[in-house]
A = this chain, B = another copy of it.
Amino acid sequence: MSGAESEYTASVVGGSGFTGGELLRLLYQHPEFDVVQATSRSKERKTVGHVHPNLREMDLRFTSPEDLESVDVLFAATPHGVSMERIDEFEAAADTVVDLSADFRLDTEAQYDEWYDGHVRPEYLEKAEYALPEINRENLSGASLIASGGCNATATILGLKPMFDAGILEGDEQVVVDVKVGSSEGGAGGGDASSHPERSGIVRPYAPIGHRHEAEIEQFLGLSVSFTVHAVDMVRGASATCHVFPNSPVSKGDLWKAYRGSYADEPFVRTVAGGGGVYRYPEPKSVAGTNMAEVGFELDPSNRRVVVFSAIDNMMKGSAGQAVHAANVALGVEETAGLEFAGLHPVGSP
């Protein structure tokens, strides 16, 4: 944690938002990174701990986002659209840029235009590497521009990937993905809908159709999904339930083999499928505050449906944790460095 021992300097652009705060926490306690700058226009000159009360011991004040210090790694936790505008500045300031927005997640301008508005620097789309090591580890090593994935896309991709790896899914199947997310996904701003009285205790259709994370799923799995996102009463967490109808019959043994095959050696994915006790399937609570993803499944004999469950902390594996993990891989640091926190039990609505 002490800067004296750290190998790399790091900065966070957009440090007063929720994902910015998580980045700062992870970097503050990371053995190989030393945070030298955190920017925030609205909180300039305030301490990091003024905004993020868990970081009161951190001796750092937000600076203007205009003057970027030279660092080894720059993490951008700004709203969609900012990074593509400032990419030249970011690259001038750092050898490695990790962007947490949607600006560089997709591969082509055509894809981007289909799901977002016009891209001002489309030439960077191909250059950027997607941050999820489980599907892109080999390309992350030495990467200079990394795009951290969308939280709901991350949960879905991790849940379904083993079925593609094992040939159980081929891409033309009917797949319904029903996602439940916490309020931190809305970011630190939020309007009426995210005020506590209106947001508490809800099961609210948040994106009934047309959620942009579908684009990432299609890009990486080659699968067009029926995707619906609900907001529920938790702060952290994203849970994707994928209702999958394989073309050929599949057994539980096939599924176990597929998931073990894909994830046995992954430090941040574990398979939880049945067994006894209270926690039989993936749950966001079980991984809250950690970089772990839980994936699992159940087989519905009545109609050959496979129900796949995937749970992550949207702020961690779905955002800041994934970004730090990718930076570790990019710089050749121990993959799990700074990401070892095991999570809590019991924990409420983390």
Contacts and interface: CB of A to CB of B under 8 A. Distances in A.
Interface string A195-214: 11111111111001110000
A57 B281 contact: no
A253 interface: no
B25 A342 contact: yes
Given A193-B278, A195-B194, A241-B228, A209 B299 contact: yes
Contact of A243 (B176, B199, B200, B302): B176
A303 interface: yes
A244 to B, nearest CB: 10
Interface string A299-334: 111110101010100000000000000000000000
Given A50-B276, A209-B307, A226-B303, A194 B193 contact: no
Interface in A244-273: 245, 270, 272
Nearest to A51: B277
A291 interface: no
A245 B241 CA distance: 18
A54 interface: yes
A281 B342 contact: no
Report which residue of A29, A197, A204, A228 has the largest number of chain B beta carbons within 10 angstroms of its beta carbon. A197
Contacts of A226: 243, 300, 303, 305
Interface residues of A, number: 96
Nearest to A343: B54
Contacts of A282: 205
Contact of A270 (B22, B57, B178, B290): B57
Report which residue of A233, A245, A282 has the largest number of chain B beta carbons within 10 angstroms of its beta carbon. A233
18 contacts: A29-B341, A53-B278, A183-B197, A183-B200, A188-B192, A190-B195, A192-B278, A194-B195, A201-B349, A201-B350, A205-B298, A208-B300, A209-B301, A210-B302, A226-B303, A226-B305, A228-B243, A348-B350
